[in-house]
Copies of this chain bind each other. A is one copy, B any other.
Amino acid sequence: MERNFLLTIEYDGSEFSGWQRQPDRRTVQGELERALSKVCGGSVQINGSSRTDAGVHGLGARASFRGEYGIPTDRLKLAANNILAGGKNLAAQVGDVRILDVQEMPLEFHARFDAKGKKYRYVILNDSNQDIFRRKYCYQIAKPLDMEAMRRAADHIVGTHDFACFQSAGGQERETTVRTVYSLEIFQKGSDIWIEIAGDGFLYNMVRIIAGTLVEVGLGYRKPDDLREIIKSRDRKQAGHKAPAEGLYLVEVYYE
């Protein structure tokens, strides 16, 4: 009998060439499919909720796959995680991708097409002292950022807009560049600043370009109200730089 599995996945993106399967490259999808195919005894192909770029991390990524597999979901998780851990760091038995949860879903469910929205976090270490041990895990900015100015800029982004200004060239073709940002929060965590953004969907590199633009506001290079004109322009060149992949985490994918 065919079944449909929904995985919740955590990964450290620093040693992956992104999510999407590619020949001769180590990718998150590729590693998961390799492990799941062994466990299920068939060629498993998964559908991921988000094709994150190289260096981007996942805390609660999702993927689904179907097949006539008799394995209990608990056993699937344990066995796949054992394979995933073994490859990278044998001594400590800690891999850089692991399955946090496996659920069975109705056959028609699809992790990407049924996603109603996503939440990303962008992590900035805002400290005059660099932390070399976190260089793969955050964007390090020495000058103090004006969080109040960043929050006022963020208010212009929340809501339904045409976000063409925040889209890199090179992504997949989209029918429209209109998206709805449900919330955009900026808060302090020790020496870190977290930008958390939730929305119904995101254009290619949208979160990183928003983070880079907000950083430029925080540094005083742009005014908070400039965001209104930037968005209206629909012009990528009007927005700020693309913040590095290292600071970006996919936190959650929303389903009905």
List chain A positions with a Cβ less than 8 A from chain B. 10-12, 57, 88-89, 91-98, 130-133, 135-140, 243-244, 246-247
Contacts and interface: CB of A to CB of B under 8 A. Distances in A.
A92 B132 contact: no
Given A92-B246, A246-B89, A12 B140 contact: no
Given A88-B135, A92-B140, A96-B135, 5 more contacts: A10-B132, A89-B246, A92-B138, A94-B140, A96-B132
B133 A137 contact: yes
A37 B136 CA distance: 27
A149 B138 CA distance: 38
Q: Which 8 A-B pairs have the closest CB atoms?
A: A91-B244, A94-B135, A92-B244, A12-B132, A94-B140, A92-B140, A12-B133, A94-B130
Contacts of A138: 92
Secondary structure of the A side of the interface?
loop
22 contacts: A10-B132, A11-B132, A12-B132, A12-B135, A57-B133, A88-B135, A89-B135, A89-B244, A89-B246, A91-B139, A91-B243, A91-B244, A92-B138, A92-B139, A92-B244, A94-B130, A94-B132, A94-B135, A94-B140, A96-B135, A97-B132, A133-B137
A95 B132 CA distance: 6
Contacts of A96: 132, 135
Contacts of A243: 91
Contacts of A92: 135, 138-140, 244, 246-247
A246 B246 CA distance: 21
Contacts of A130: 94, 98
Nearest to A93: B140
Contacts of A88: 135
Contacts of A12: 132-133, 135
A195 to B, nearest CB: 15
